[in-house]
Structure 1
Amino acid sequence: MTATDQIAGPGASQAAATTAEPMIRLEELTKSYRGQKKPAVDRVTMDMPRGEIIVLVGPSGCGKTTTMELINRLIEPTSGRIHLDGEDVTTADPDTLRRRIGYVIQQIGLFPHFTVGENIATVPKLLGWDKARIGNRVDELLDLVGLDPAVFAKRYPKELSGGQRQRIGVARALAADPPVMLMDEPFGAIDPITRERLQNEFLRLQQQVKKTIVFVTHDIDEAIKLGDRIAILGEQSRIAQYDTPANILSNPASTYVEDFIGSGASLKRLNLSLVGDVALDTGAATARIDGTAAEARDTLESSGRSALLLLDGQGRPQRWVDARDLDRADGDLRRAGEPVSALVDTGATLSYALNEMLTSNAGVALVVDGSGAFQGLLDFETVMVTTRSIQRDSSDFYRAAKAVTD
């Protein structure tokens, strides 16, 4: 049975079909347990391209975690084949195989009696790396996940926040530079605000490391945001649709997929684009908050805008002011106008930005880079245009693919 055979309905395309050798290939992969009438995983066949995030999503009990754990043989398959980078690893030594694959779980699983540095160094030590190489790698990875090595390397897991522990879990999985990472609901036990930030950080990291990542979640919104391709699974891990997020939203393959996506597909498309990918309004009137009211007034009048954005010395947004605010400023701009709201970084999704805009008095989002420096404004018109463009592009792709298959 091919992945195309498993897809339910004519509207699903086999997005994993590529001319290049996939990083992971599963062939008729099956797992049966003694005493159970049906297999937990039934003849799953799919290709997972190199350097992409493939999300397995489905309801509880459908077998998505079991499918993922078959890849690194934490669970041994009953039948079928597993290929990793062109090599059949179905019967390879499982310990050797797992050292080639990073693994991150929801509970993180850091060793409590090891320091952060020792946790990250676990697999490199098993591989026989020398001390200097391990130390350099630990420092490199802590920098990569945004944690200062001088501050965090000697700490213990109990001294970290949940978000920090999750970052260390990702760093540990990356330690030996594996080509493949498996991630089982890694952000599931974290509060929504921290979860959003970690998702953004995760996407930023992937742009740098370009790993092949198999990511398990039950949250379709998370799948849409993170996945290059999504496999929506039904009972026994049978593939209901395997495609890009845009195509799944525009062309669900069956009523099961439609029901799983739920209502609000148009809004869900906003998870397909990042703020940094759209054209921003870079013509906002700005002035230094430590400047004079007279200078600010001149800037505002010459700009033709109704409001002026005050920035600090590092270019970070501080306050909004208009002409009346400047008349009442009494020479001190630090208390003039209103503090800024709806700050979003370039790695945030348009969905997150829209939510911030709806709660902002200004009606726009202030886009900042990783250091908090102002990059431009995002308005409702840009969000609407981007959403329509995503929908149009997905429909065009689907019609072209259908014409080829017909």
Structure 2
Amino acid sequence: MTRTKIRLEHLTKRFPGQRDPAVDDLTLEIPEGEIVILVGPSGCGKTTTMKLINRLIEPTSGRIFLDDEDVTQVDPDQLRRRIGYVIQQIGLFPHRTIAENIATVPRLLKWDKARIAKRVDELIELVGMDPVTYRDRYPKQLSGGQRQRIGVARAMSADPDVMLMDEPFGAIDPITRDRLQNEFLRIQAELKKTIVFVTHDIDEAIKMGDRIAVLREGSHVAQYDTPERILVDPADDFVADFIGRGASLKRLSLSRVRDIQLGEWPTTTEDADPADVRRALSAGHKDSLLVLDDARRPRTWVKTDHLAGGGGSGLAGVGLPVAVVTPDDTLSDTLNEMVTAHCSTAVVVDDSGAYAGVVDIDTINEAARGMRTRNGNAAHDRLEAEPVDPAP
């Protein structure tokens, strides 16, 4: 049975001069090792709820438990050192290096210099950056996506069990946002932190969350459930309207490339003789070959009309660009890549960047049909299990 990490009991926050409470009698249990998303319309109280958890804002009434300890009675500064916090604006100190930013909390905890240096390098590497290159740079020398990665690294610096994330990827361009989301989910799969994550974006909630709390005004919980259950069986019209149209497409965010059977595609190498490639295309059932380099990394798609003459100058730089995805990408991400890809096909690579297979539109359709069947059966089973009121 999953252990409860954070428990909110009848939590209420009233701000002076406001008629209605921002958070009104909220009770919620957050399981250990899961990402719980707080999602809802603007002004519903989700960010206020998050700030109450680490007591950036003090509750008017109610209690907050962390590991069964009532933390409304402890020193708030000591509490915050146990909790990582990431915000949309990142909040890095501009006049401190990346290493100094990440070391902020460990220094407050009086870690020794060697331990801090080791932890800084571990975290920079963990978020997909090179410690040697970045540890001595300043925030202004990083891109927005890199600063956001360092913000996540800083939140994890003291290895907290709990992380609070307030729209952490909201101010980033869509392509970088997808990459950071995927990178964070990869890290979470290893570390299993307990994470409370605020967003206004239901698509992000579905992609990132183990559980989602859909909140009405006052942080009243409209539905608290898994993404699958919320998509298949919304509790009421408010939840259904918040999900919006396209629930079937949203379900593609629940499955990842690693969950499906990959297809194969005929390949060739960059140093192949174009005459041999032309013969292979003529003899095969595909109108293109996937060109791989000497490390089996996909480079281009090559078709007959890309082959000039019959000589042997190789295929380096010849052909059409390749849409590449990884096993951690969602089927929704993959479908987005496939929309403009050659043959409506995405190429899957492993951790080393080597070719692992392909995903085509038929594979996506089959996966979507399978999800509809499973979810339809689950909904039917729930209806069958519900008691029926006797006829009057």
Mapping for residues 17-166 of structure 1, pairs under 5 Å: 19-166=1-148
Q: Is 1:377–2:358 an aligned residue pair?
A: yes
- Structure 1's 130 and 400: CA in aligned 2 closer, same or farther, altered over 3 A? farther
Q: Is 1:350–2:325 an aligned residue pair?
A: no
Q: TM-score, structure 2 length as denominator?
A: 0.93
DSSP-derived class of the 1:45 partner: strand
Instruction: Give the percent of matched residue pairs that are identical in Structure 1 and Structure 2.
Output: 59
Write out per-residue CA displacement over residues 265-284 of structure 1, whole angstroms, 9 at most, x where no aligned residue.
11111111122222111x32
Write out per-residue CA displacement over residues 285-306 of structure 1, whole angstroms, 9 at most, x where no aligned residue.
1121113235545765776544
Rounded to whole Å, the distance in 2 between the matches of 1:362 and 1:293 is 21
Letter in 1 for 2:135: A
DSSP-derived class of the 2:348 partner: strand
Rounded to whole Å, the distance in 2 between the matches of 1:200 and 1:253 is 29
- Give the deviation of 1:374 after TM superposition: 1.5
Counterpart contact for 2:213–2:225, Cα < 8 Å? yes
Counterpart contact for 2:299–2:322, Cα < 8 Å? no
Letter in 2 for 1:356: E
Aligned to 2:253: 271
Letter in 2 for 1:273: S
Counterpart contact for 1:317–1:340, Cα < 8 Å? no
Write out per-residue CA displacement over residues 102-124 of structure 1, whole angstroms, 9 at most, x where no aligned residue.
00000000011111001101111
1:307 to 288, 291, 301: 288
Aligned to 1:172: 154
CA RMSD of aligned residues (A): 2.0
- Which structure exhibits the higher relative contact order, with contacts defined as CA atoms closer than 8 Å and separated by 6 or more residues? 1
Rounded to whole Å, the distance in 2 between the matches of 1:77 and 1:190 is 32
Letter in 1 for 2:374: D
- Give the deviation of 1:358 after TM superposition: 1.7
Equivalent residue pairs, number: 387
Aligned to 2:390: none
- Give the deviation of 1:197 after TM superposition: 1.0
Q: Is 1:187–2:169 an aligned residue pair?
A: yes
Q: TM-score, structure 1 length as denominator?
A: 0.90
Which runs of 5 or more structure 2 residues have no equivalent in the other structure? 388-392
Aligned to 1:205: 187
Write out per-residue CA displacement over residues 331-356 of structure 1, whole angstroms, 9 at most, x where no aligned residue.
23326862233222222221121122
Rounded to whole Å, the distance in 1 between the matches of 2:377 and 2:114 is 53
Counterpart contact for 2:303–2:319, Cα < 8 Å? no
Which runs of 5 or more structure 1 residues have no equivalent in the other structure? 1-18
Rounded to whole Å, the distance in 1 between the matches of 2:118 and 2:272 is 44
DSSP-derived class of the 1:90 partner: helix
Aligned to 1:14: none
Which piece of structure 1 moves more, 66-75 or 354-363? 354-363
- Give the deviation of 1:390 after TM superposition: 2.3
Aligned to 1:8: none
DSSP-derived class of the 1:385 partner: helix
